[in-house]
Amino acid sequence: MFQNNANEPNESKYKKTGEKYLNFYYQFIKNAFGLKHLTGDKPIYLRIYVDRLPIGSRKRIEFKKQLMDLPRTESYSDSPIEIRSGDVAEIHSHNHVLLQCLDIVLGAMFYRLNDLHLAVPEGQKARGKRTIAKDKLFNNIIEHINEVMPNFNIYETTDEYDNKVPDCYWNHAYRHWRYKQSL
């Protein structure tokens, strides 16, 4: 799931500190993994580890409750997903190597999607070393994605199969969801 910052919502909708961040995080968890398309007769218990939330403790509790209530939303009505009390936990991503790697990958994709890979620092004639490294990582990622999904376009959500059966979400070699906030 990647976002282009050109799709900025109306800021008046997000007056309270952290609401925009929480909305983005919630939509990411709700939609990016295709969990609502899971099928089965037995409950599938989901544990969610979110990076330390930059909000007060009251909002933090409300957000975690909102995530725990996700299986009871209309879009999850047919999904066996269950999220129990205590299954939503905050962690510090800098203490987890895999999450640090994920941050690097998402950062590289973010750079490209928002044309930051073209940025030349003020007073310089060429891009910085980190910008070049992120661009190289992006190109490497795209090369691997194109092996399983030729002509992949980072700017678009991957197509659904014509039959649009939920199982198609679990049979694709690669799925990509482009998040677009309401304007």
Q: Spell out the domain ranges in the chain.
A: 16-91, 97-183
User: 28-37 pLDDT, tens per residue?
Assistant: 888 877 788 8
**Predicted local confidence at residue 135, as pLDDT:** 92
Query: What amino acid is encoded at 114 in this protein?
Result: N
User: 96-144 pLDDT, tens per residue?
Assistant: 898 888 888 888 888 888 888 898 989 999 999 989 999 999 999 989 9
**Which of left, alpha, beta for 40 (phi over 0: left; psi -120 to 50: alpha)?**
left
**Predicted local confidence at residue 29, as pLDDT:** 87
Mean local confidence (pLDDT), 176-182: 64
Angle at which helices 57-68 and 19-31 pack, to 10 degrees?
20
State pTM to two decimals: 0.68
Q: Is the pLDDT of residue 92 over 80?
A: yes
Query: What amino acid is encoded at 151 in this protein?
Result: N
Quickly count: other Cβ atoms within 10 Å of residue 31's Cβ. Answer: 14
